[in-house]
């Protein structure tokens, strides 16, 4: 989350700086839009190179917190019902070490 937010802030600051350097004209906005589109396309291309990770789904227990007259219910997860993933991570680390 921090890296994503930092990228947003740096991108907006860079875009604002470029816009002031080029002047706030129609052509400058179009050029900046094109540059932003190329950057987003490059990010998507880099994201496609990240290997897919498959995670086994496990059911999680939920507790009903409230029921509303309109038929809406508010549920909260029961955290102890979540599977322990630390054991699985240790097994994967041991398998990768050998």
Strand partners, 76: 63
What pLDDT, in 10s, does the model give residues 85-97? 666 555 556 666 6
pLDDT of the residue at 90? 57
Cα-based distances in Å from 97 to 39, 44, 54, 73, 86: 37, 32, 20, 47, 17
Q: How far apart are the first and last CA of the chain?
A: 33
Confidence of residue 76 (pLDDT cuts 50, 70, 90): confident
- Domain residue spans in the chain? 2-48, 62-97
**Mean pLDDT over each residue of the chain, to the nearest integer:** 84
The Cα–Cα gap between 31 and 18 comes to 10
Output the pTM of the full model: 0.50
């Amino acid at each position: 989350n921090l890296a994503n937010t930092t990228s947003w802030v740096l991108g907006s600051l860079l875009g604002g700086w470029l816009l002031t350097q080029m002047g706030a004209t129609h052509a400058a906005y179009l050029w900046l839009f094109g540059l932003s589109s190329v950057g987003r396309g490059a990010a998507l291309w880099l994201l496609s190179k990240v290997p897919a990770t498959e995670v086994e789904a496990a059911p999680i227990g939920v507790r009903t917190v409230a029921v509303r007259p309109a038929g809406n219910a508010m549920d909260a997860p029961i955290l102890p019902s979540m599977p322990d993933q630390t054991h699985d991570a240790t097994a994967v680390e041991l398998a990768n070490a050998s």
